[in-house]
Structure 1
Amino acid sequence: MPRATPKDDPQPVPPAQPDLDDCCHSGCNPCVFDLYDEALERYQSALAEWQARQAALKVQKVRTVHARPSKPRTRR
């Protein structure tokens, strides 16, 4: 079974925060800042899920390392 690598599950990238000049200040619905807030919430959720997966992978790696049978030691 192939092992998962960071390339298989990259860390989520935060959304780019809009500049104050990106808003037209005319009360648009949705405003660019509303869209940013929604994207930020999705990012934070995705980041939390990614961090949980990474933590589970670390636990799995530790269990795999500790579960390997040790070789009998021989004297030379």
Structure 2
Amino acid sequence: MSQENPTQPVTVTTWEKPTPPADYECCESGCSPCVWDTYYEELNIWNAEQKAIRKAAEHAAATEHNE
């Protein structure tokens, strides 16, 4: 008996890259958290997500190529 391995579509949701704060958004008074702190935190999360998406796509391509 043969086993079929149907190809399932991969759905990827990507978020927009965070936008740096505008000049007027930072009051430069040392707020905690500063709008820049929040921006860099969101940018780090976005970068990690992009890396994971690329890695998953590379894995899927490699798996598809080996079949």
Count of residues in correspondence between the two structures: 62
Instruction: Tell me which residue corresponds to 1:29.
Output: 32
TM-fit CA distance, 1:11: 3.6
The TM-score normalised by the length of structure 1 is: 0.69
Alignment pair present for 1:4 and 2:16: no
Q: Which has the larger radius of gyration?
A: 1
Alpha-carbon distance in structure 2 between the residues aligned to 1:55 and 1:34 = 32
Instruction: Tell me which residue corresponds to 1:19.
Output: 22
Instruction: Tell me which residue corresponds to 1:48.
Output: 51
Q: Could you say what secondary structure the match of 1:18 adopts?
A: coil
The TM-score normalised by the length of structure 2 is: 0.76
